[in-house]
Amino acid sequence: MNNVQTIRKRLGLSQAAFADAIGVTQGNVSHIERGAQELTLTVARRIKAIAAERGHPTTLEFICGDTSPQEAA
């Protein structure tokens, strides 16, 4: 499981609901989670904002996969 998927699941959102929240398609979320599509900085910032709004603050480094969940906590 990559960090985007970890965040989405922590937020309790389906791929479709998460996609709506961050302004992409469900297919984009699926591709990002599988590593078939690169995560843009713009989308990473949206994920960071949505996570913070929902009580799960995180870092861009964690979202982009530069740290493990334990290091980001």
b (16+ CB within 10 A) / e for 34-68: eeeeebeeebbebbbebbeeeeeebeeebbbeeee
The pLDDT of residue 67: 58
Q: What is the pLDDT of residue 66?
A: 65
Q: What pLDDT shows up at residue 31?
A: 97
Residues 33 and 26 sit within 8 Å (Cβ to Cβ): no
pLDDT score recorded for residue 73: 47
- Which positions of the chain have pLDDT values less than 70? 66-73
Contact criterion met (CB below 8 Å) for 60 and 45: yes
Q: In this predicted structure, what is the pLDDT of residue 65? A: 83
The predicted model scores a pTM of 0.87
Domains and CATH numbers, the chain: 3-72 (1.10.260.40)
